[in-house]
Amino acid sequence: MVETYQMVICGVGGQGILTISDIITIAAQKKGLNVLGSEVHGMAQKGGSVITNLKIGKNLNSPTIPIGTSKMLVGLEQNESLRYIKYLQPGGTVITSETVLFPITWKKDKEAADKARENIKGNLGKFDATIYFIDAEGLANQTGLALTQNIVLLGALSQVEGFPITDNELREALKIRVPPRFLEVNLKAFDLGIRAVKT
């Protein structure tokens, strides 16, 4: 019996969360696995907090992942990683971008971002998890396309032990999902993500 791999992907609306969820589902399907994800549309795209659930395996039933049962959390923004880390099962893995996006509620406090940056590692560390912090913004900028932060994290994800899809399988899916003119930068971002975890 194939064990179900449960993961959540989170961030802020517009960061490309659905894109990486798409790429993973395409790769999983090509591999002959079933996939079941759950998305929230509508209001969520307006810069709000966004979470996507994804299950990979066989004979999947419910599309959502309850608290404490996800093997993996991919966070495109640090505060969102902290918001949703509760979905992780004890001992699970987090891949989070170090990116901080300003929520409206910080606007009045000029120091809020500094304080959050100071505290975020300690706060995430309160949860039982292996956490990889990735400078997705810096790495994406190296490719020349700042919007590839999500793909950097996808590269990093491919290296995590137990993740059921290989880097080559994800590359093939990337080719299907990403428009041809952006493929090269995306593959570059993907490789930078792989290296970020290996070093």
- Interface with other proteins (CB under 8 A): 12-13, 21-22, 25-26, 29, 34-49, 60-69, 79-80, 82-83, 86, 88, 90, 102-108, 110, 112-114, 116, 119-120, 123, 126-128, 146-147
Q: How far is the CB of 108 from other proteins (least distance, A)?
A: 6
CB-nearer residue toward other proteins: 4 or 158: 4
Q: What span, in angstroms and rounded, lies between the C-alpha atoms of 184 and 118?
A: 35
Q: Are 10 and 84 in contact (CB under 8 A)?
A: yes
Q: Are 124 and 75 in contact (CB under 8 A)?
A: no
Q: What span, in angstroms and rounded, lies between the C-alpha atoms of 189 and 151?
A: 6
Q: Are 183 and 175 in contact (CB under 8 A)?
A: yes
CB-nearer residue toward other proteins: 104 or 198: 104
Q: How far is the CB of 188 from other proteins (least distance, A)?
A: 18
The token pair at 72 is: 């993996």
CB-nearer residue toward other proteins: 168 or 176: 176
129-134 and 5-12: which strand pairing? unpaired
Q: How far is the CB of 61 from other proteins (least distance, A)?
A: 4
Q: How far is the CB of 57 from other proteins (least distance, A)?
A: 12
CB-nearer residue toward other proteins: 42 or 180: 42
CB-nearer residue toward other proteins: 165 or 194: 165
Q: What span, in angstroms and rounded, lies between the C-alpha atoms of 135 and 24?
A: 21
Q: What span, in angstroms and rounded, lies between the C-alpha atoms of 4 and 152?
A: 25
Amino acid at 116: A
Q: How far is the CB of 50 from other proteins (least distance, A)?
A: 9
